[in-house]
A and B are shown apart, each in its own frame.
Chain A
Amino acid sequence: MTRLAPYSGHPASASASRAGRVMPALGVGLIWLFLLVFLVYPLARILYDAFSDEAGRLTLANFVEFARDRFYLRSLVNSLVLGIGTVATTSVLGFAVAFLLVRCDFVGRNLFSYLTLIPIISPPLVGVLGFTFIMGRAGTVNVLLEDWFGLTRPINFVYGLHGVLLVETLHLFPMITLNVVDALAKIDPALEEAAESVGARRWTRLVTITLPLTTPGYVAGALLVFIWTFSDFATPLVLGVHDLLASQAYLNIVQFVDRRLFRMGIVISALMVALAVVFLIAARRYVAIKDYSSLSYSKVPRRRLSWLGQTGAIGFLSALMLLSFIPYLGVALASVGRGWSLTPFPVRYTLHYFERVIVETPKYIVNSFLYAGLAVGVCIVVGVPIAWILARTRLPGRDTLDGLNTLILAIPGTAIGIAYVRAFHFELPGVGYALTSLWIVLPLILAIRRLPYTVRGSYASLLLVHRSMEEAAASVGARGWRSFRDITLPLIWRGVLVGSLFSFVTSLQEASAVLFLSLGGWETITVGIFSFYIAGSANEAAALGVILIAVAAVSVIVINRIAGTRMGGMFG
């Protein structure tokens, strides 16, 4: 969330030769072209759709219709309530966990710092399915209550808005944790020591010094939690909650027949984009005046907890982890259990579902890796130069570039998916096909969606490379590309790699944006999960989910190894 500030030094191109000036200009031009074509144009198109009628005339009628429909208004209110509610619950959990991990020392702290990342890699749809297997009306918990305690009517843990809140909270609290961990690690210990020296007690120090200092990181995380919840349609649909904006956008759009409803789906998507942008701007305003953090990471000694404190910390984290692992348990059981109904655990087990997804549909896995791989390629080609422009130059339009890059984080996946369908469904001159008929559109949309991670990862590393090193290289005659290759690249590759890996993992997990664009033969793992689920094969969906979870888990461990605590910066 922190505004990307330019490094205060000389503009890089100041002493470049003429040839060295044309090439970068061309590169910058191409980057802008890429963003204009694949980000600005589709969003403009969907906004135009929202403000026009079937004949293409500009009108406000769509929004009037929205405002007059009580069901839509209820959906809007519910979405806001759910988003804010999730931010509140994840904040409490996320802060508590972050504080324990950064500031306290107890047995198993390292283990927990890995475990707290796990909920975040729960793939769309599968997590909530897993949840219903354990917590549903016929889930393990209810069955045990019925069998052991003679409960006659199952308790409704999940079906309804409260269920969505529960699932989203347990899924998303690590977003807050990551960002706050990052922010806590950046706080200059001198500030707290100063407070201590004037007699501030621990609690007072926490409330008056520490918490305010984590604001920028926290707000970034909170915004992401809000947007995520706000735009997630898979979770509410599985839990039978239709009166939310995301659900309505999805449901109205997937029924193409009624053009009026279809347009309302687009209108709702556009509204979600607009709201997301408003929240993004508000968050940036708020943070900009509160950004006190230093760029460097400082080591604050961890406080060794007392015996009682340790028990409490471990108890709290274990309970939280236990709850967070419910989806995984459910998915794992469903992926091997046959005909599982009204028993606490499956009675019959089979590897048939894995066999089916691995032998019959390896294309899901192949496609996922191909598209995510290509997307990361594009992310690096476009994202690293953007990071460089932001960190090393004073080119005009830098702020806009930064803003666009952040904007991407705020756009709901469904909305950009729809925007692509609307924007690129025309025959390309000379090609004979629309872009939407070519599979390349999938890696392209993934690249746009995940670009910010690569940019942020690279940018953070660039800031840490002191300019004097490049200047030293220049003084012995190495300029431009040579100095970048020999000096800058070896120093920043780690950040680029982390950002790219993050782009890769999140591309693998992406569903909402690609769902509307995917055609037969292009299915990725997540689209496969959806089509198996839609086809009624929850078990195969679960098996694919387990595979995706495994891949993501390995990637996250690798990222964590390389990046250490700096992972939080990725989301901001």
Chain B
Amino acid sequence: MRHVAILALAVLLVAGARGTAWAQAPIEGELALITPVSKFIHDAALKAFAEYAKEKWNVTVKVSAIPAGTPVAYGRIVEWKGRPDADIFWGGESALFEKLAAQKLLQKVEISREVWDSIPASIGKPRAIPLKDKQGFWVGTALEPYGLVYHPKKIQRLGIAEPTEWDDLLHQKLKGEVAQCAPTRSSSSNATYEVILSIHGEDKGWDWLRKLAANTGFFTARSRDVPTVVAKGEYSAGFAVPSYMAFEEKLAGFELKFVAPKNAFVTPEPMAILAGSRNPKAARAFIEFLLSERGQKVFMERGLFPITPKYKVQGPPGSTAEMAVEFTGGVRSYFDRDVSNVYDEDVAQKRSEALKQKFRTDIEATWKKP
């Protein structure tokens, strides 16, 4: 049958390509990511790395990415059972990386000592946010706050002040005007729910979240949709949005605004090499590249912040880096300011299941479109 022949041919081609290519080269000729970090960032990072590899080793690296929300990416890595179809997992909560490491699905990052040491162990008070794994299984790549977004024209029409704090989202006039993603589907939403519970305590925290739900007009299927619907003007404000996603809309020509309120969660965008990766050398080279000045620039020009105190977001007037600084409220580095953080990794992990369950029963099942 024809399909059998095609199958056999495909198998031969795959096997052939694997056997011969780049046996001698300093890095392999392929690199694949699985990541919740959006295309805007991961495409740019992969492209910059491919150029760098060409310059440095004259190796053409075939780069690709499987875009997947954090839970999906995690689930697929578990399903691969140590024979992954990608080399690197990038983004999401650091706790998930530790869960993967415990299942022996990650290998140690093993980049050069100097690069590793240039990244501080943690940031934030009173709770510390780890920026790299003590055991060496993952390393942070960039800092990114989860804040709120709003459409200035819509806010003006509603006749209210521009929001600056989480509580501003509970304004009566914003009824039906807020967009958010369910914490069961988005790590940024989940983390920000956790932040609210940490600020107010369990009971008052859920009261607060129920009030937010009452103002919510749209539960998006994915966190990335939140800034999109606000930028377009479909809804006036959005909850728990990563800074770069909002900045991407700004660069796309929308008049969206972003605020990281006090205690906004800051993620280090962890990165790890999967156990059984077929391109471990390329994976390691990719991580080292991202932590170099050239790699960090990719982030700094896209609304993210450097992971080490060595660099600051800056550029000539009118550059996208300066635009990003203005967009995120004048922040150039998270290391030259006090970072207030109440998110506690252990507490978050312990009540993670309960949080999702309570969201399902208390909010999702009872929510009615206002």
Contact = CB atoms under 8 A, between A and B. Distances in A.
A532 B38 CA distance: 10
A532 B248 CA distance: 13
B79 A342 contact: no
Contacts of A377: 2
A256 B78 contact: yes
Contacts, number: 143
A340 B67 CA distance: 26
Nearest to B2: A381
A258 B356 contact: yes
A535 B2 contact: no
Contact of B10 (A242, A440, A537): A440
Interface string B233-244: 111000000000
Nearest to B78: A256
B97 to A, nearest CB: 13
Interface in B19-61: 32-34, 38-40
Contacts of B185: 251, 254-255
Interface in A241-270: 242, 251, 254-258, 261-262
Given A71-B365, A257-B75, A532-B39, A438 B224 contact: no
Contact of A255 (B72, B79, B83, B220): B72
A124 to B, nearest CB: 14
Contacts of A34: 1, 3
Interface residues of A, number: 56
Given A159-B217, A256-B79, A341-B231, A71 B364 contact: yes
B72 A138 contact: no
A124 B355 CA distance: 33
B98 interface: no
A215 interface: no
Interface string B218-261: 11111011011001111100000000010011001111000000
A262 B75 contact: yes
Contacts of A338: 252-253
A44 to B, nearest CB: 20
Interface string A510-522: 0000000001110
Contacts of B217: 159
B369 A159 contact: yes
B39 A535 contact: yes
Nearest to A161: B369
A137 B234 contact: yes
A315 B185 CA distance: 46
Contacts of A447: 3
Interface residues of B, number: 64
Contacts of A348: 253
Contact of B221 (A156, A251, A437, A444): A251
B171 interface: no
A359 B81 CA distance: 36
B14 interface: yes
Nearest to A252: B184
B248 A536 contact: yes
B76 interface: yes
Given A255-B185, A437-B85, A438-B11, A341 B2 contact: no
A441 to B, nearest CB: 9
A438 B10 contact: yes
Given A255-B185, A532-B39, A71 B360 contact: yes
Contacts of B14: 433, 438
B205 interface: no
A30 B5 CA distance: 14
A532 B65 CA distance: 13
A437 B6 CA distance: 15
B71 interface: yes
Given A520-B64, A536-B40, A257 B232 contact: no
B254 to A, nearest CB: 5
A339 B253 CA distance: 4
A496 to B, nearest CB: 16
A70 interface: yes
A344 interface: no
Contacts of B75: 255-257, 262
Contacts of B10: 438-440
- Residue from B10, B96, B227, B356 with most neighbouring chain A CB atoms (10 Å): B10
A531 B222 CA distance: 12
A425 B80 CA distance: 9
B253 to A, nearest CB: 3
Interface in A376-435: 377-378, 381, 425, 427, 431-433
Given A159-B218, A255-B185, 7 more contacts: A254-B69, A254-B72, A258-B356, A438-B11, A520-B66, A534-B222, A536-B225
24 contacts: A34-B3, A70-B365, A136-B234, A138-B234, A242-B219, A242-B364, A255-B184, A256-B72, A258-B184, A258-B353, A262-B75, A341-B151, A341-B231, A341-B254, A348-B253, A381-B1, A427-B83, A438-B10, A535-B38, A535-B39, A536-B228, A536-B245, A537-B39, A537-B252
The 4 closest A-B pairs by CB, nearest first: A256-B75, A339-B253, A138-B233, A535-B39
Interface of A: 30, 34, 70-71, 132, 136-138, 156, 159-160, 237-238, 240, 242, 251, 254-258, 261-262, 338-342, 348, 374, 377-378, 381, 425, 427, 431-433, 437-440, 443-444, 447, 519-521, 531-532, 534-539
